Amino acid sequence: MTESVAGEWPVGRRARILEYGENPMDAIENQLVIEDQSAPDVSTLKESDCVIAVKSASVGWVDLIMSSGQYQHMANPPYTPGLEFSGEILWAGSDAKRKGFKIGDEVMADGFKTGPRSKGDYRQFGGFASYAVAPAEALFHLPEQLTFDQANQFLGSYETAYHCLVARGRLQAGETILIHGASGATGLAAVHLAKILGATVIATGRSEEKLEIVRKEGADHVLCTNEDHGGLDSLRKRVRELTDNRGVELVYDGVGGPISAASLRCVQFGARYLIVGWAATPFVAKGRGQRGSPNANQLPTNLIMMKGLDVLGCPTVISTHRDPTIREERLEQLFTWVRSGQLKPYAGRVYPFTELKDALLAKWTSDWVGGCAVHPV
């Protein structure tokens, strides 16, 4: 698909979720299809639109939970998943050109403004497709420092990590932070940003192999929490050993479940505790077929009280929708770090489009460090 003359583009491919699954596994196995995609007819598009040949699309956690209707934003099946993607402009309307976009430009899509998480006309154009259409305001030019694969791991994960660490966590240079799920897409982003911000990072995970990569990516200490290493019972002792018995100032918890309560024994008085997600207990959220599930994420209030803790919920997307002004500063800072070479988003495993189901299953079972991606073209 190299031709850039509208009307002469070949038939492409796209994924569709036909109906919400009972859970993400069910959606992947039974509701996901790959079908032909006609090239967009530019005579139907707005002058502010661009047609993008998608080069790489992130396989994200939200893509998974959205496929079973568990995400707070409903995509209304049938829809094309792929919240974050990057690619090359094939066509730009006159307004889009005035805004600086032209054929051949390398761009990445803003999942707030286009794709299945957006509202309105552009929600139909997910990244798991050969072609996407997005308005100019939903596109960023790719900084030269980023590959397509890095670009689509950038906004969601690093905006989340920034919102959690900076806007909510008030992380200061010299502080020590405990990051759970550090091998995950948002967890690894948090490791990168915490290091840039001058913190000492203690990263946890269940796999020594993945933690070795997290260490190479900047974590000062890694703690494997599987049973071979004493499980969660030894967490307090090991964190205290690493902090001269003080405990940490901040916890970034993207995992939930039993590790949350165990973490409250690893903190110092007045610490901040960031509730980022619950990868370990994905069915606690209300979702189709999951209603009435007991909430498996509970924090002991006695420890919160006696240690004077700040427990902070960090819903990046919801907070940003409620107050869009919080986004400008974080985007500016993140792009500045990328351009200066300080921030290098981690591009995990890449799958061919024909193996999209494998990629989604691998994301569900946390097989790889960071995010993974598919190449639709």
Q: Taking contact as CB under 6 A, which single stretch among the options 7-15, 139-147, 202-210, 354-362 is the one that binds ligand NAP?
A: 202-210
CB-CB contact of 127 with 57 (8 Å): yes
Candidate list 185, 264, 309, 356; residue touching ligand NAP; CB under 6 A: 185
Return the number of the residue (117 or 195) whose C-beta is nearest ligand NAP: 117
Least separation in angstroms between CB 327 and ligand NAP: 13
Candidate list 218, 230, 289, 315; residue touching ligand NAP; CB under 6 A: 315
Residue nearest to ligand NAP (CB): 184
Q: Taking contact as CB under 6 A, which single stretch among the options 18-26, 132-140, 315-323, 352-360 is the one that binds ligand NAP?
A: 315-323
Q: d(Cα 244, Cα 253) in Å, to the nearest integer?
A: 22
What is the DSSP annotation of 325-356?
Answer: THHHHHHHHHHHHHHTTS-------EEEGGGH
Binding status of residue 366 toward ligand NAP by CB under 6 A: yes
Which strand (E) or helix (H) includes residue 86? strand 85-92
Name residue, tokens 């192999």. 209
CA 61, chain centre distance (Å):
7
What SS3 state is found at 220? coil
Return the number of the residue (280 or 356) whose C-beta is nearest ligand NAP: 280
Least separation in angstroms between CB 298 and ligand NAP: 16
Q: Could you say which residues in the range 251-280 bind ligand NAP, by CB under 6 A?
A: 254-255, 276-280
Of 161, 41, 150, whose CA–CA distance to 91 is shortest? 41
What six digits make up the tokens of 58? 């992130």
Candidate list 55, 210, 272, 330; residue touching ligand NAP; CB under 6 A: 210
Least separation in angstroms between CB 9 and ligand NAP: 33
Return the number of the residue (40 or 187) whose C-beta is nearest ligand NAP: 187
Return the number of the residue (109 or 279) whose C-beta is nearest ligand NAP: 279
Residue 224 pairs in a beta bridge with 205
Main-chain dihedrals φ then ψ at residue 209, nearest 5 degrees:
-60, -45
148 Cβ neighbours under 8 A, 6+ residues apart? 55, 56, 86, 87, 106, 142
Return the number of the residue (63 or 106) whose C-beta is nearest ligand NAP: 63
Binding status of residue 183 toward ligand NAP by CB under 6 A: yes
- Residues counted in the chain: 377
Residues that bind ligand NAP (CB under 6 A): 61, 160, 181, 183-187, 205-207, 210, 254-255, 276-280, 314-317, 366
